[in-house]
Amino acid sequence: MSLHSILLKGGWVIDPVNGIDGEADILLEDGHVTQLGPELKVRPGTPVVEVPQGCVLCPGFIDMRVHLSEPGYEHKETVSTGLAAAAAGGFTAVASMPNTEPVNDDAGITGLVLARAAEAELVRVHPVGAVTRGLAGERLAELGELREAGCVAVSNGVRSVADANLMRRVLEYASMCGMAVIDHCEDVLLTQDGVANDGFQAAALGLRGMPSAAEDIFVERDVTLSGMTGAPLHIAHLSTRGALEAVRSGKARDFPVSCEVTPHHLTLTDDRLDGYDTNYKVNPPLREQQDVEALLQGLQDGTIDCIASDHEPHHYDEKLVEFDRAPFGIAGLETVVSICLDRLIHPGYLSLTRLVELLAINPARILGVVGGSLGVGSPADITVLAPDLPVTVNAGEFRSLARNTPFDGWALRGGVAASIVGGRTVYANSSVDGAVEFETVTSDQQ
């Protein structure tokens, strides 16, 4: 029996789960890791990929919050284009949000998303189901059916469940079904028709404000409910120092809470709104410098578990309107890695090991999916980083259909060399010398 095999030779491997941080070879056979270690001896004739100088191999990154927008919003993004963007962004799996049209609150829609993902043959999709029917916040969705259909977690999408009693039951029921609840926390009565962080900048620009307290209050509420029910809760796109404190406090009391932050909340503040560029309009809104500093601290001390893009694509026309009327969202899949390398790794805030925890190990654990490890038997999902690659963000070349990014034109140090899913290269960056080698990594090869 001959298994398709390929040897990734001479790369720097970071695999914290297995205690590896150094030069190592990886043998992939039939879509799985079968050997990992320095100077591997393999059967003669095994195809060898010489990992380009300077590249770092990590367990495949998992983006915990992506709006694939299909079904219903295919003008913004489809599963296929979203996954192409994910592959280019260095991700080997994404968790897709349920706020499609129709909402992913039944097996049929879950099945559709999985079928589209299978057709795309790119990056894995872990569907996140809706907690309430139609995401209306009124009645439980059939979480058991969603689980059976392939959902790995459930979420309220982009609106909180306002009714605390319902939220309690959501937590209990989802937990029974073995799924975490991923929570967008916002008291909409406080944010109302706000479009920017409620503070000096919004006041000066005449923009209606969304107070930090609106996020803090619901994070505090939901952390408390998680403690009460013992049900796992994951706070999406946490943006304020108050919300971070609430998570820290919950963790200190051993509540099963986790949280994620986005790259834009780590690098941008509300003073960017001067000029009314709708590419900066996002929910939660860009906050203040004190919040950014608190989040950096949270990344370092372990309070924050994951970094996620919250990729929210919009059609160009939709963002080309007055600030008040523009939809919220940043199409972030293709900039996560470069922003993290340039703003977190190179300045020395975090190590690459910690980054792998934030982008692979913890997402896999929270979603309850296989990933985050390159140990023997693991699926061959590998993110190959080029940590010193000079990258200039060019929204016009995004593989996403969407162009709504505040990072267009940014010159960053660090990028993606290749993305490998199940032993198949789904993306190889032609700007990286030698990355073309990775294009030989396909599961069809003899």
Binding site for other proteins (CB under 8 A): 198-209, 275-276, 317, 320-325
Q: Least distance in Å: CB of 396 to other proteins?
A: 18
Closer of 105 and 198 to other proteins (Cβ): 198
Instruction: Tell me how far apart the alpha carbons of residues 79 and 306 are, in angstroms, rounded to a whole number.
Output: 23
Instruction: Tell me how far apart the alpha carbons of residues 20 and 16 are, in angstroms, rounded to a whole number.
Output: 6
Please give the distance of CA 33 from its chain centroid, rounded to a whole number: 24
Instruction: Tell me how far apart the alpha carbons of residues 338 and 101 are, in angstroms, rounded to a whole number.
Output: 32
Q: Indicate the SS3 state at residue 134.
A: helix
Q: Least distance in Å: CB of 280 to other proteins?
A: 11
Q: Least distance in Å: CB of 213 to other proteins?
A: 11
Q: Report whether 97 contacts 126 (CB < 8 A).
A: no
Q: Least distance in Å: CB of 201 to other proteins?
A: 8
How close are the terminal C-alpha atoms of the chain, in Å? 12
Q: E strand or H helix at 258, and its extent?
A: strand 257-261
CA angle 357, 172, 295 (to 5 degrees): 35
**Residue 227 tokens, joined:** 């403690």
Q: Report whether 186 contacts 176 (CB < 8 A).
A: no
Q: Least distance in Å: CB of 193 to other proteins?
A: 10
Residue 379 pairs with which residues in a beta bridge? 32
Measure the CA dihedral 91/97/102/104, to 10°: 100
Amino acid at the residue 321: V
Active site annotation includes 342: no
One of 63, 183, 310, 342 is an active-site residue; which one? 310
Closer of 192 and 300 to other proteins (Cβ): 192
Residues marked active site are found at 310
